[in-house]
Amino acid sequence: MEYNHKEVEQRCQKYWAENGTYKVHEDVSKEKFYVLDMFPYPSGAGLHVGHPLGYIASDIYARYKRLEGYNVLHPMGYDSFGLPAEQYAIQTGQHPAVTTKTNIEGGTDKDGNVIPGYRKQLDQIGFSFDWSREVRTSDPSYYKWTQWIFKQLFNSWYNKAEDKAQSIDLLIAHFEANGSDGIKAVCDEHDAFTAAEWKAFDEKKQQEILLYYRLAFLADSWVNWCPALGTVLANDEVKDGVSERGGHPVEQKLMRQWSLRITAYAGRLLQGLDKLDWSDALKDQQRNWIGKSKGASVKFKVDGFDDMIEVFTTRPDTIFGVNFMVLAPEHELVSKITTADCKEKVDAYVQAAALKSERDRQSDVKNITGEFTGAYAIHPFTGDKVQIWIGDYVLASYGTGAVMAVPCGDQRDWDFAKHFNIEIKNIFKDVDISEAAYAEKDAVITDSDFLNDLPVKKAIGVAIKHIMDAGIGVGKTNYRLRDAVFSRQRYWGEPFPVYYKDEMPYVLEGNYHVELPEVDKFLPTEDGDPPLGNADKWSWCINKKIVKDNDQQNGTCTFPLELNTMPGWAGSSWYFLRYMDPCNEKEFVAKDKADYWGQVDLYIGGSEHAVGHLLYSRFWTKFLYDLGHISFDEPFKKLINQGMILGRSSFVYRLIPHINNLFSVEKETIEKAFSLLPPVFISYSHIERYKKEESLTQDESENLGKIKRQLVELGEKMTANVQEKLNDFNLPISYTIQEYVNQLHVDISLVQNDELDIEGFKKWREEYKDAEFILEDGKYICGHEVEKMSKSKYNVQTPDELVDRFGADTLRCYEMFLGPLEQSKPWDTQGINGVSNFLRKFWRLFHNDELFAVSDGEADKKSLKTLHKTIKKIKEDLDRFSFNTVVSAAMIAVNELTDQKCNNRDVLEKMVIILSPYAPHICEELWAKLGHKESVTFAQFPEFIPAHLEDSSYAYPVSFNGKMRFKLELPTTLSKEEIEKEVMANEQTAKYLDGKDPKKVIVVPKKIVNVVM
RNA sequence: GCUCGGAUGGUGGAAUUGGUAGACACGUUGGACUUAAAAUCCAAUGAACAUUGCGUUCGUGCGGGUUCAAGUCCCGCUCCGAGUACCA
C-alpha cells in the first residue's frame, strides 16, 4: 500500500485535536521543559515557507523532550497589536480587531481576498502546540495584565544601594523621614530637600519629584519623530535614520513622552549575558547596544559664568591635552554662553542642525562643521582658557552632550582642530601626531604635570584620583543604552491605565484597567492628539465589567485620560509568562506555576529581535524578579536564531522595441505604435551569450547569430502585423538584444526547472496574452536570483501547496534537511523529492506489497547495529541542535534496513519512535498499526546499547606519510605492537615502502595507521 | 572604520575531541521496466592524467607555519554575509 499522506495526516490531526494530546498540565512528579517560539504577528499575507522553519525545529525538539520523559510546555500565540492592521484600518475603516481575527482564524478581507488564517496554516503542519494556552496581545484579558505591569513600573524606583527595583512607597517613606538625603537611586537630577520641605510640598510638586524616580516616567526627551507615521519610534525601530517599518524619514523632536528607565538595568543586562546560552554574535549585539564604557566625568567651569560644563571621557589621562571644548548644538548652555558677536553664526548653526534629519546628519559625517561660541572654559588643573565650540559631531543624546577635545588622542577632535586651524597640543612622548591622532593606549604621557612619565594605563587611574580630589568629577561608567520611549501616537496598541490630575499622571488603582475605546477614525484628531483623542466613550474595567465611564460631558470622570498607546514590544515583553497560566483572572501569572515552568529552556526565533524584544523582555523579567513576582531573572536560557529562508525569483526578459532614426518621429507617436506591439521575450541563455559575445565558441556564436536573425524577422513581422493600425506611421521598428531588455519578475508557480509555462504565462497577465517568445530547443528558460521572499517579487512559496502535494511530514523533514538551522539559505524545491522518497521508503519497510507486515522474534544483528547506530547519532545530533544531520542519519538507516530487508517489529517500532519528532503523522499511523492504543507522543526514546555496535574487526586505513593507500581488516583485540607487525608484514606495505625503511609507525587503535618514511 | 560570522564537487550540505575529505540528498549521464511518458529500480559521478585492469597526481578561498597526520590548530592576506557606526 502506497503511503497516502492526505488521509493519514487528516486522521492524525483529528485524533490529536479530539484527544487533547498536546494539552499539558503542571505535574511536579515530572521534570519540566519549556520550548518556545517567537510568536508571530498575524499578517494578512499568511505564512510562507520561511515562517515555519523555526517552529518545525522547536516542535521537533519539544517532541523529542516528551519522548525523553519531560513535561513539555510548548505554546503558541499571536503578537496581534501592530502597525499593518492599523494602516489597513485607516485605508478601509475596517476595525483592526476584525482584521486581526480574520488573519488568525481565516475568512475574507474587505476586497474579497481569501485569507487562509494562521491557525489553519499552522495546524496542517502538525505542530504539537498546546492551543488551550493561546494568548493574543490585543485581547483585553491579556493586555489588562500588560497594563498591570506598567502600573508596577510606575509605582517603582531603582534603589542603587540594593541594586534592584523597589516600591515607590519605600521612597516616599524615606522622603518623609529624611528628605532626599541618603537616597542612592537611578533618577533625574533635582535639588535636594529635607523631610520638612517634602511634607510642605503640595501634591503636584511631590508627584513631580516622584516622576524623577519612577521606572515608568514622563519626561521631555529628544525622541525619534516620524512624521509620515505620525508617531515616535524607539531607537531599535530606527535603522539608517529611517523608520524600520516603511522606511520613512525620522527627525529629532523634544516631546513629553512616557519612558521606561531601562538604563537602571544596564549593568545587570550586561552581566546577565554571561550565563546565557546564546550565540556570541547575539550577545555581542546586545553588549554593543548597551555600550558600556569606563572613564570619568569632569566638570569645566565656564569663564565668566557660574555654570559648569560636564563632560564624559574614557581618557582622563589626556586631560592636559585638552585644546578646546565642543558642545552639541542642542546643549542647554549654548544660548546662554554664546557671546554677542558670535550669536548670529551660532544661532544659524543651531537652527540648521535642528532642521537636519537624523539621516542627513549621519550621511554628513565626513563634513566637519562647527562654530565658536566666543565663550571659554577654565582648565581645572592649568587654569588655561580653552575655547568652547559647538559641533554636530557631538551628540546630544550620548553622555552629557559635551566633550573635552583632545586632538592629539582622538581622531575626531584631531579632524575638527585641523579643519578650524586650532593648534594641537601633544602630550604623548615620542609620538608623531602631525598626520593623525594617536589613539593607542601604549604611549607614555608627558607635559602633563602630575601625570608626567606615566604610561597611559596607569595615568588613567592617577588622573581620576586627582579629578576626585579636586572635586571636579568622578570615575564613571557610561552606557550607550537610552531609556526606552514608551509612548506611541497610535490606536492599535495597549492604552495606558493613566489619567491626569493637575497635569500630573496617576495610574488607575487596584484592578482597574482601560479598554481600548471605539473611535470613528483611526487618524490623529484635528488638534493633533493621537487617534484615541477621537474616542468619546471610555470604559474602565474590572473583571470584564465596565465600572466607570470617562464621559466628561456627564461628569462621571473629570480627569483626562492618557491618549497615547504602548509600543509593540510591550505585550511581547512578558507573553512567555502568561502561557504558564493563560486564563488567570486574578494575577498575571500564579507564582507556583511560574516557579514550576520557570525559564524558557529553548527559545527559537529570528535575529531581527536581537536588541529590541530580547532586551526588553530581559528587562521586564529582571524587574518582575526584583518585585518578587517570579523567581528567575533571565527569561530565555538557550536561544537559537533561525536563518532566513530566501526566495528564488524567476525572471523573463522583455525586449523593448526601438527605432533607429528617432529624430524624425514624435515621442507620442512612438509610444502609440509601441503600445500596439505584442510583447516579445527572449531567454536567459540568450542574454548570457550576448553578455560574453567576445569569448563565444563557434557553435555558440552561430547560435547567437541565429537568434539575432530571428529577432530581425520578428521585428518585421510585428511591424507588418500592426501596419494597418499604424498606417501613416511607417516606423522602422526593430528588436536587438543590446540594452533594450527589461528584466521582469515572473510568478514562480509558472516556472518549473527554470522552464516557463508559456500558456500559463499568457493567461497570467492580460497584457501578455499575445506575447511572442524566442525559444531554444522548444523551451523558454527563465533567469533566476536569490532574494528575500515577497509578494511583489512573485517568489513566495507557501507551505500550503507543499503540504498538499507532499504532506506535512515531508515539508517538516525537508525544511530541516535544507541545512543548519541558523544559516540563511535559498528555498529550492528541487530536493524535496528525495525527502519524500525517504518517507515512502520508510513506510514500505512495514508493508509487504499491499499489506501491513512486520515479523516478530529476534532481530538480525546487522539491523540491530543499524538501529543503535542511528539511535546514538540522532540523540547526539538533537542534543546539539543539529537538526539537518538527523535527517541524513535517518535516511541512511532506512536505506540500510531496506537493503537488509528488515521487517522486525522491535527494530521498526524503535525507528518509529525516533523518527516521530520529524514525521509525527506517518509515525503515529504506523504506531497505531503496530497495535498501540496510546499516541506515540508519549513513547519512550529508545536506549542506546553500545554492545550492538561492537565489531570483532576494524578496517584500518593504512597511510604512508599521511596519504591513505589501502585498508587492512584487523581484529580489534590486537595491541598496538601487533597491529604494527601485521601492517609491516603486509605485501602492500612493501610495495609502498619501495625498499625504504620506515622511520616510524604511528598506530592509533580503531582509528588509523600511519607509516612515516 | 569596528565587531561577529563564513568560504568544502555542477548544487544544498556532511566530516562532533587534529586521524580514510566530499556522508546524505539534489542534479547530470548511462541502463532496466514500459507502445510511450511519468513513477520506480540499478550503475557512474571532485578534477586532471592513464585507461587493459591495477592506478598516478592534484584537491576544502590565497600564502606561510606547527604536526607522524591539518577542512579542523597558529600567523599573514583576499573575498562574501550580518550587525553597528561621529558613543567622546
pLDDT tens track for A483-537: 988 998 889 999 999 999 889 999 988 888 899 998 888 888 877 788 998 888 8
Q: Which 86-105 positions of A have CB less than 7 A from strand B?
A: none
Torsion of CA A408, A412, A414, A417, to 10 degrees: -130
Q: Among A260-274, A493-507, A668-682, A719-733, which stretch is predicted with the lowest mean pLDDT?
A: A719-733
Closest residue (Cα, C1') to B15: A885
How far CA A120 is from CA of A24, A103, A115, A582, A720, in Å, comes to 21, 10, 10, 21, 54
Q: Among A7-21, A480-494, A588-602, A697-711, which stretch is predicted with the lowest mean pLDDT?
A: A697-711
Q: What is the mean pLDDT of chain A?
A: 88
User: A950: burial class by Cβ within 10 Å (0-12, 13-18, 19+)?
Assistant: exposed
Through-space separation of residue A6 CA and nucleotide B33 C1' in angstroms: 29
- Predicted pLDDT of residue A719: 67
Label residue A46 left, alpha or beta by phi (over 0 means left) and psi (-120 to 50 means alpha). Answer: left
| The 3-state secondary structure of A539-600, one letter per residue | EEEECCEEEEECCCCCCCCCCCECCCECCCHHHHCCHHHHCCCCCCCCCCCCHHHHHHHCCE
Nine-digit cell string for A336: 546662554
CB neighbours (10 Å) of residue A801? Answer: 13
- Predicted pLDDT of residue A362: 67
In terms of average pLDDT, the best of A105-109, A491-495, A789-793 is A491-495
- Strand B contact with A817 (CB < 7 A): yes
Over 90: is that where the pLDDT of A559 sits?
no
The values of phi and psi at residue A153, to 5°, are -65, -40
Amino acid in position A147: Q
What percent of chain A stands above pLDDT 70? 92
- Strand B contact with A614 (CB < 7 A): no
- Strand B contact with A998 (CB < 7 A): no
Sign of CA dihedral A653, A659, A660, A666: negative
Residue that wins the pLDDT comparison between A666 and A612: A612
Answer whether A44's CB lies under 8 Å from A107's CB.
no
Tell me the ipTM for this assembly: 0.94
pLDDT band at A330 (very low <50, low <70, confident <90, very high): confident
- Strand B contact with A810 (CB < 7 A): no
Q: Which 139-158 positions of A have CB less than 7 A from strand B?
A: none
Q: How far apart are CA A940 and CA A635, in angstroms?
A: 29
Over 80: is that where the pLDDT of A117 sits?
yes
CB neighbours (10 Å) of residue A916? Answer: 26
- Strand B contact with A593 (CB < 7 A): no
pLDDT tens track for A461-474: 999 999 999 999 99
- Strand B contact with A873 (CB < 7 A): yes
- Strand B contact with A478 (CB < 7 A): yes
Through-space separation of residue A2 CA and nucleotide B39 C1' in angstroms: 12
- Strand B contact with A948 (CB < 7 A): no
Report residue A861 CA to chain centroid gap. 48
Return the CA Rg of chain A.
36
- Strand B contact with A869 (CB < 7 A): no
What percent of chain A stands above pLDDT 90? 51
- Predicted pLDDT of residue A684: 74
- Predicted pLDDT of residue A639: 94
Q: How far apart are CA A8 and CA A925, in angstroms?
A: 7
- The stretch A366-388 carries a mean pLDDT of 91
- Strand B contact with A876 (CB < 7 A): yes
pLDDT tens track for A718-773: 666 666 655 555 566 666 665 567 788 888 888 776 778 888 888 888 888 888 88
- The stretch A285-298 carries a mean pLDDT of 91
Q: How far apart are CA A70 and CA A73, in angstroms?
A: 9
Q: How far apart are CA A194 and CA A200, in angstroms?
A: 10
pTM beyond 0.80:
yes
Through-space separation of residue A992 CA and nucleotide B51 C1' in angstroms: 22
- Strand B contact with A394 (CB < 7 A): yes
Q: How far apart are CA A741 and CA A876, in angstroms?
A: 53
> Which nucleotide is nearest to A879 if distance is taken from CA to C1'?
B16
Please name which of A966, A951, A972, A949 lies closest in space to residue A1009, comparing C-alpha atoms.
Answer: A966
- The stretch A439-455 carries a mean pLDDT of 88
Through-space separation of residue A721 CA and nucleotide B23 C1' in angstroms: 59
- The stretch A928-950 carries a mean pLDDT of 94
> Which nucleotide is nearest to A326 if distance is taken from CA to C1'?
B88
Through-space separation of residue A299 CA and nucleotide B80 C1' in angstroms: 47
pLDDT band at A693 (very low <50, low <70, confident <90, very high): low
- Strand B contact with A233 (CB < 7 A): no
Over 60: is that where the pLDDT of A234 sits?
yes
Answer whether A484's CB lies under 8 Å from A616's CB.
yes
- The stretch A367-376 carries a mean pLDDT of 91
- Predicted pLDDT of residue A666: 64
> Which nucleotide is nearest to A820 if distance is taken from CA to C1'?
B13
- Predicted pLDDT of residue A631: 97
Chain B, protein-covered positions (CB within 7 A): 3-5, 11-16, 19-21, 23-28, 40-41, 55-57, 68-70, 81-88
- Strand B contact with A285 (CB < 7 A): yes
- The stretch A156-166 carries a mean pLDDT of 96
Q: How far apart are CA A345 and CA A350, in angstroms?
A: 9
- The stretch A710-725 carries a mean pLDDT of 68
> Which nucleotide is nearest to A1004 if distance is taken from CA to C1'?
B19
Residue that wins the pLDDT comparison between A351 and A373: A373
> For chain A, how many residues are written?
1013
CB neighbours (10 Å) of residue A973? Answer: 8
- The stretch A479-483 carries a mean pLDDT of 90
Through-space separation of residue A967 CA and nucleotide B8 C1' in angstroms: 25
- Predicted pLDDT of residue A54: 94
Adjacent-strand bridge partners of A825: A645
> Which nucleotide is nearest to A478 if distance is taken from CA to C1'?
B87
Q: Which 38-57 positions of A have CB less than 7 A from strand B?
A: none
pLDDT tens track for A25-36: 999 999 999 999
- Strand B contact with A371 (CB < 7 A): no
Closest residue (Cα, C1') to B81: A824
- Predicted pLDDT of residue A259: 93
- Predicted pLDDT of residue A1: 56
The packing angle between helices A883-899 and A808-817, to 10°, is 120
Q: Is A103 helix (H, G, I), strand (E, B) or coil?
A: helix
Residue that wins the pLDDT comparison between A173 and A256: A173
The values of phi and psi at residue A81, to 5°, are -85, 145
Q: Is A380 helix (H, G, I), strand (E, B) or coil?
A: coil
User: A996: burial class by Cβ within 10 Å (0-12, 13-18, 19+)?
Assistant: exposed
The values of phi and psi at residue A847, to 5°, are -130, 145
How far CA A89 is from CA of A100, A109, A399, A515, A522, in Å, comes to 11, 12, 41, 18, 7
pLDDT tens track for A625-665: 999 999 999 999 999 999 988 888 888 888 777 666 555 55
Over 80: is that where the pLDDT of A127 sits?
yes
In terms of average pLDDT, the best of A11-25, A437-451, A938-952 is A11-25
- Strand B contact with A188 (CB < 7 A): no
Question: Cβ neighbours of residue A776 under 8 Å, at least 6 residues apart?
Answer: A683, A685, A686
H or E element at residue A87: helix A83-92
Through-space separation of residue A988 CA and nucleotide B55 C1' in angstroms: 14
